[in-house]
Amino acid sequence: MASVSTKGDIVAGSDAASDAETKVAAIVARARAAMDAYDNHDQSRVDDAVRALAWSIYKPENAQMLAELAVEDTGLGDVESKVIKNTRKTFGTLRDLLRAKTVGVILEDPERGLVKWGKPVGVVGAVCPSTNPAATPVNKAMMALKGGNAVIIAPSPAGAITTRRTVELMRDELKKAGHPEDLVQLMPTPVSKEMTQALMNQVDLAVVTGSQNNVKRAMQSGTVAIGVGAGNVPVIIDSTADLDDAAKKICASKIFDNSTSCSSENAIVILDDVYEDSIAALERAGGWRCSEAEREEVRNTLWQGGKLNRHVIAKPAAVFAQVMGLSKEAASRKFFMVEESAVGGKHTFADEKLSLVLTVYRARDFDDAKAIVRAVLDVTGKGHSTGIHTNNAEHARELAAETDVARVLVNQAHTFGNGGGFNNCLPFTLSMAGGTWAGNTLCDNLNYKCFINLTHLVSTIPEDKPSEEELFGPYWERYGK
């Protein structure tokens, strides 16, 4: 593998970069040794290892402990939501993984003369965010080991304590089940940009969730990389929607984990003829409709020096209202609606807010609603996702056809459906890519297919060669030979 002198943006020869390279090389070597000892040719043993990782966080006392630790460690989100995230995402991912073949012969198609073998991609470097310092490391580790690989976790500095404990639990379960503990390792502390860059430089596959700076550096490292884009979900409420159902789902999604999820609704676009009725439904669901003066107070406090104010992001409604100077009545509600007449740019209510602020736009008609959605995504979140509450299937199809996103959810609570659900077909994950629209190589939910290489055994079959007339005939008819 190439050294930092030819990969990444860390200056070769610097003490920090050299030290990081040496430390990471030792960890990668242990990961390769663990892969050599891993029964990764045996699907049943691989599945056994995946179950071990899942149980390490799904176990009730562990799910609760890690949720409490994550909130204490990062100051972000809420314990109850993180318990749900630790268990629901893990359970759903385990379901998906156990239904898939990933090692040895995974497909035989005699009619096409084809046999496929699944093989490991190698050592995986998994860069994880502070918003999910327990659930994301386990999620990525499960997928990596499902492909027969080893994984090295790079935590966010803000969630490093939680991630360290999470990795310890995963290693304990692997040992108990007779698998090499070094299949899952943690980057040494203290966490630094140099250390993370060295990891991305030396592994066989880098998978990055969180900081867009890390995503860009991974793409530039020279290592094969999968990164995910920023979320900033706008959702339409159209004239045919069940307004109370839509409002309840939007509320449940918006307030989950105090809006830390990249799939949380950041804006809603309501058609004019149901605007006031929709606002009333959202108020019944727990929303507070900010006055013009309150909206300006929120605007001036939410961003400080061109950055989101850490005193309000991912905080409970009562804390948010207190910092914003809102009334006691407002503080008793679950989320806060700010109405905007036009889509602004960065650091406006059109941008990602990571807080209980929900921007509301009024659309003249459905065409205007689609245009507003596209404008919001052009500010932040292009490629990621959008949604619609409607009973008009054609409207949902139009939105999907005309919007550059990887996912369009229909009549769903976005946070609970975007990363996979038991009532939709999306793979369970905590990492959602947005294709080239978001500067990503993947246009899907991160899943096990990202962690395997394929060998194709190809045998001859009866010749399948059409005539020239079959292929060129329509063209000749229109334009001649």
Q: Are residue 453 and residue 396 in the same domain, yes or no?
A: no
List, for residues 401-453, the tens digit of each pLDDT value. Answer: 999 999 999 999 999 999 999 999 999 999 999 999 999 999 999 999 999 99
Q: Are residue 213 and residue 241 in the same domain, yes or no?
A: no
The answer to whether residue 470 sits within a structural domain is no
Residue 251: other Cβ atoms inside 10 A = 22
Q: Are 252 and 244 in contact (CB under 8 A)?
A: no
The answer to whether residue 118 sits within a structural domain is yes
Residue whose C-alpha is closest to residue 127's, from 32, 26, 221, 254: 221
pLDDT at 2: 32
CA distance 20 to 25: 8
DSSP, res 257: G
Q: Give residue 205's Cα distance to chain centre.
A: 17
pLDDT at 3: 31
pTM: 0.93
Q: Are residue 452 and residue 343 in the same domain, yes or no?
A: no
The answer to whether residue 270 sits within a structural domain is yes
Which distant-in-sequence residues (6+ apart) come within 8 Å of 467 by Cβ?
none
Half-sphere exposure of 3 (CA within 13 A, CB side): 10
Q: Are residue 105 and residue 165 in the same domain, yes or no?
A: yes
The answer to whether residue 428 sits within a structural domain is no
Q: Are residue 249 and residue 147 in the same domain, yes or no?
A: no
CATH number of the domain residue 37 falls in: 3.40.605.10
pLDDT at 13: 46
Bridge partners (DSSP) listed for residue 362: 270
Alpha helix positions (H), 221-354: 243-255, 275-285, 292-302, 317-324, 328-331
Q: Are residue 77 and residue 221 in the same domain, yes or no?
A: yes
Q: Are residue 389 and residue 308 in the same domain, yes or no?
A: yes
pLDDT at 5: 32
The answer to whether residue 91 sits within a structural domain is yes
SS3 content of the chain, % helix, strand, coil (to 5): 50, 20, 35
The answer to whether residue 438 sits within a structural domain is no
Q: Are residue 19 and residue 87 in the same domain, yes or no?
A: yes
CATH number of the domain residue 330 falls in: 3.40.309.10
pLDDT at 85: 97
pLDDT at 220: 84
Q: Are residue 95 and residue 218 in the same domain, yes or no?
A: yes
Residue 474: other Cβ atoms inside 10 A = 10
Q: Are 93 and 143 in contact (CB under 8 A)?
A: yes
Please tell me which residue in 128, 251, 262, 450 is annotated as part of the active site. 262
The answer to whether residue 463 sits within a structural domain is no
Query: Within the chain, which residues score under 50 in pLDDT?
Result: 1-13
Tokens representing 351 are: 């941008």
Range of the domain at 348: 233-418
Residue 340 phi, psi (nearest 5): -125, 140
Three-state secondary-structure class, residue 433: coil
Tokens representing 439 are: 């500067």
List, for residues 160-169, the tens digit of each pLDDT value. Answer: 999 999 999 9
The answer to whether residue 439 sits within a structural domain is no
Q: Are residue 390 and residue 284 in the same domain, yes or no?
A: yes
Q: Are residue 295 and residue 392 in the same domain, yes or no?
A: yes
The number of distinct structural domains making up the chain is: 2
CA distance 103 to 359: 46
**Catalytic site residue 443?**
no
Q: Are residue 344 and residue 256 in the same domain, yes or no?
A: yes
